[in-house]
Amino acid sequence: MDKKCIVIFLTDDIAQTYDGRPLMLQDALFCPVLNWCMRAWTEKGIGRFFVVCDPEYHEAVTACFPEEAAAAVGTLDTYQRDIEEYARGCWIEEIHEAMLPVGSMMLSFHTVPELARLQQAVKEDIAAYHQNTGVNILDPATTYIDPRVTIGAGTVVLPGTILRGSTVIGENCEIGPNAVVRDCLVGDGSVVNASQVYESRLGRDVHVGPYAHIRPGCGVGDGCKVGAFVEIKNAVFGPGAKLSHLTYVGDADVGGGVNFGCGTITSNYDGFKKHRTVIGENVFVGCNTNLVPPVTVGDGAYIAAGTTVTRDVEPDALAIGRTRQENKPGWAKKRREMHGKN
């Protein structure tokens, strides 16, 4: 372990920025520059840090500390009072300039445009790192990968992809084109095609998209399909569930093998509170179904197309709730004649 305590002075950062934050708290590839620096120093064996900044930035700074590091944040007065005891005999190195690790070097910068130029260099470094570990990035120029992201070997990353936060992608996946994945766990063999996925967990061999939106809090089981123009939110799906197109499922617990027909929604919000829908295993949900929670649909049930479900459905039952069709012979012809269109 390096016998060094690094002290970073954010109070010395007086460069003009767009949002008023210190340069070391600006983002480079979705990750604060300070986080980049902390990770680089930790990899070199340094484990003791002190950041001097205004109190309004204490929370943002604390979020950048590595879990394994001994780190503290305080004002200039706190630093001058406590640093000797905090450093515990380590050599104190003071950092008064904003800097970003590029390759094996720490390069300083003084403006946001300078940071943008450095970001391009680290963007290329990240792409090269993943390519060297068996990831196929087809076009690094149009791919943006957060330094916190982990990608398994054999995965293909297609153009226009943005991977953010603490995302972990398994092996032999296909991500993109034009996909956004943030703070997610994606299982082996899964596909995310032209879709956005946030703060959720996808199992193995899941197919998402195109044009799907997975909002936070979702758990999608192995072999599921979340298809075109489907939106899900705070919902859990068992293995093999399928939502092929034009469906919204929010605040729901869904069993394995469930099939959702086109145009199905859960009416989870009553204007005041959110309510949860529970669907058992191997349920068939017909097209244009409205599920109005709180409601439970038992295993093996069948919901006829066009039904609005407001009461619990027993296992293996048929639920049907729609008006009976009536045909009026000759009505269309008479209407055309009335308007002179015959």
> DSSP letter at 273?
-
Q: What is the pTM of this model?
A: 0.90
Does residue 1 carry a pLDDT above 60? no
Give the chain's end-to-end CA distance (angstroms, integer). Answer: 91
Q: What is the pLDDT of residue 50?
A: 93
What confidence tens digit (pLDDT) does each residue in 91-103 have?
999 999 999 999 8
- By C-alpha distance, which of 156, 66, 53 is closest to 98? 53
Higher pLDDT: 307 or 104? It is 307
Active site includes 245?
A: yes
* Cα separations in angstroms, 90 against 3, 37, 79, 201, 260: 5, 19, 15, 42, 62
What confidence tens digit (pLDDT) does each residue in 230-272 have?
999 999 999 999 999 999 999 999 999 999 999 999 999 999 9
Across the range 15-33, mean pLDDT stands at 86
Q: Give the C-alpha separation, 143 to 160, whole Å.
A: 5
The greatest distance separating any two alpha carbons of the chain, rounded to the nearest whole angstrom, comes to 99
Q: Give the C-alpha separation, 158 to 90, whole Å.
A: 47
Beta-sheet pairing, 31-32 with 27-28: antiparallel
Residues 6+ apart with CB under 8 A from 151: 130, 133, 135, 145, 157, 163, 169
Across the range 180-191, mean pLDDT stands at 98
Does residue 46 carry a pLDDT above 80? yes
What's the pLDDT band for 225 if we cut at 50, 70, 90? very high
Spot the catalytic one: 130, 207, 213, 245: 245
Average pLDDT, the chain: 94
Q: Tokens 């058992």 correspond to what residue? A: 280
281-285 long-range CB contacts below 8 Å, 24 or more apart?
281/238, 281/255, 281/256, 281/257, 282/255, 282/256, 282/257, 282/258, 283/255, 283/257, 283/258, 283/259, 284/258, 284/259, 285/258, 285/259, 285/260, 285/261
Q: Give the C-alpha separation, 331 to 53, whole Å.
A: 78
Amino acid at 229: F
Q: Tokens 């899964």 correspond to what residue? A: 190
Q: Give the C-alpha separation, 154 to 134, whole Å.
A: 6
- By C-alpha distance, which of 221, 182, 218 is closest to 203? 221
Q: Within the chain, where are the H helices?
A: 33-43, 58-62, 76-87, 112-132, 331-338
Does residue 2 carry a pLDDT above 80? no
Q: Which of 55-59, 250-254, 324-328, 333-337 has the highest mean pLDDT?
A: 250-254
Q: Tokens 């099939």 correspond to what residue? A: 259
Length of the chain: 342
